[in-house]
Structure 1
Amino acid sequence: MVIRARAVTLSLGSRAAPTDILKGIDLDIAAGSSVAILGPSGSGKSSLMAILSGLERATGGGVEVAGVDFTTLDEDGLSRARRGRIGIVLQAFHLLPTMTALENVAVPMELAGIADPFTRAEAELAAVGLGHRLTHYPAQLSGGEQQRVAIARAVAPAPAILFADEPTGNLDEATSAGIVELLFERRRAADATLVMITHDPALAERCDRIIRMRDGVIVEDCAA
């Protein structure tokens, strides 16, 4: 199992008046699988992804990801643990506006100490169909192109796990279809485990497994 979560809770707010976001999640995800986490707004699915990807610390329970015990790590430790192990694609592209497409993909690898970051970035951008847009800035790219850069940035370090949170949420229907195909193709090329947050049942059915959440708990877990 590349992900193990046991009795994971997340509470926000004060001790006197906490808001329980996750209420005791138990979850195992096998290496190489693709998993969709489906649920309405407020169900806790994005919060669960944030904890599993090391962007958020659980209030309680245990989380082990790619052989690392996330439970014992502070924010700096979680940041180090993500490097090279985890790639993340979000609904908002989160590209740095002052960097070119090539720099947006290469610089995070350079800062992480990954060898040949610009060579790898150029190859991955070519793989997502942007070999001719290396020197363009985000403002010069369409929404679909920006998400392609974000996918390249996530996949270029060859992570063990690829997380995607509503990856087509800011795109029109025609562009979304191409981005979905690209996401799954690049995931296969990297041989990465895919954990995808979505509200779209049709997109969820592209995965091997569908987990449905409601009110901070898993209510269904089945093969797609």
Structure 2
Amino acid sequence: MIAARNVVLTLGRGDAAVAILRGIDLHVAAGETVALLGPSGSGKSSLMAVLSGLERPTGGTVRVSGLAFDALDEDALAVARRGRIGIVLQAFHLLATMTALENVAVPLELAGEVRAFARAEAELAAVGLGHRTGHYPAELSGGEQQRVAIARALAPRPALVFADEPTGNLDAATGDTIMDLLFARAADDGATLFIVTHDARLAARCGRVIELADGRIVRDRRA
């Protein structure tokens, strides 16, 4: 699913250059659940951005689902991500002027799904929000907003799901419920799940834990 070789990411130029990723080698098989651990500033979110095609590496190669992400331009990357990759972030990034149903359906419409609203309604029901489809983000709790974000990310049935600190804005009990839901939904679809977290308890739920420090993988262990 993911094959990264000698990935380097440097921000800035000359004396102002800062090395964020320093030669990352990583292979992730289809269906794995992977946690990426590390302290703040270790490069976790940057690595996720590179692997998901949101950031272009300075050097090295990145192949996702057989596609050479490092060789694609921005338009081609957007097309490559569509339907293949779902992303759930700590900040929910819902559109405030759209209902829960519209937040899930509109990306499906843009991807060419002819039954976008029916599909979105089913996805929201699957995350326990069948009764909240007409509500706007400001009318939803944090946990409900994250459920909408999960429904939106998983509605296209992506083979690969990235989650970057998905419970960071939630209380512990709500966070546990959200992660139960995310693991269950990914398992139902047979998706590869890649979670960026600082929470060792959450990481322990994954089949594989990778630890990052100073832009390098320092530990890679399987359960």
TM-score range, shorter chain: over 0.9
Is the aligned partner of 1:99 residue 2:94? no
Note the residue ranges of structure 1 that are not aligned, 5 or more in a row. none
Structure 2 residue 119 is the aligned partner of structure 1 residue 120: yes
Give the TM-score taking structure 1 as reference length.
0.98
CA distance in 2, matches of 1:153, 1:209: 26
**In 2: Cα distance, 1:144 partner to 1:181 partner:** 12
Match of 2:182 in 1: 183
Return the alpha-carbon distance in structure 2 between the equivalents of residues 109 and 29 of structure 1.
27
| Alignment match, 2:23 | 24
Runs of 4+ aligned residues of structure 1 deviating over 6 Å after TM superposition are none
Residue by residue over 1:19-58, the C-alpha shift from the partner in whole angstroms, topping out at 9 and shown as x without a partner, is: 0000000000000010000000000011000000111110
- The alignment partner of 2:31 has SS state of coil
What is residue 222 of structure 1 aligned with on the other side? 221
State the alpha-carbon separation in 1 of the partners of residues 24 and 13 from structure 2.
Answer: 21
Q: Find the residue that maps to 1:62 and give its secondary structure.
A: strand
Instruction: Calculate the TM-score normalised by the size of structure 2.
Output: 0.98
Where does residue 198 of structure 2 map in the other structure?
199
Q: Does 1:60 align with 2:63?
A: no
Aligned-residue offset at 1:17: 2.6
Partners of 2:175 and 2:26 lie apart in 1 by 29
How many angstroms apart in 2 are the aligned matches of 1:114 and 1:19? 42
**Alignment-derived partner of residue 6 in structure 2:** 7
Whole-angstrom CA distance in 1 between matches of 2:33 and 2:100:
27
Aligned-pair CA distance for 1:16? 3.8
Distance in 1 between residues matched to 2:101 and 2:194, nearest whole Å: 26
Match of 1:47 in 2: 46
Q: Share of identical aligned residues, percent?
A: 69
Q: Secondary structure at the match of 2:147?
A: helix
Structure 2 CA distance for aligned equivalents of residues 123 and 134 of structure 1? 10
Task: Tell me the residue number matched to 1:135.
Answer: 134
* Unpaired runs of at least 5, structure 2: none
Once the 2 structures are TM-superposed, how far is the Cα of residue 114 of structure 1 from its aligned partner? 2.7
How many residue pairs were aligned? Answer: 223
Select between 161-170 and 117-126 the one with higher mean Cα deviation: 117-126
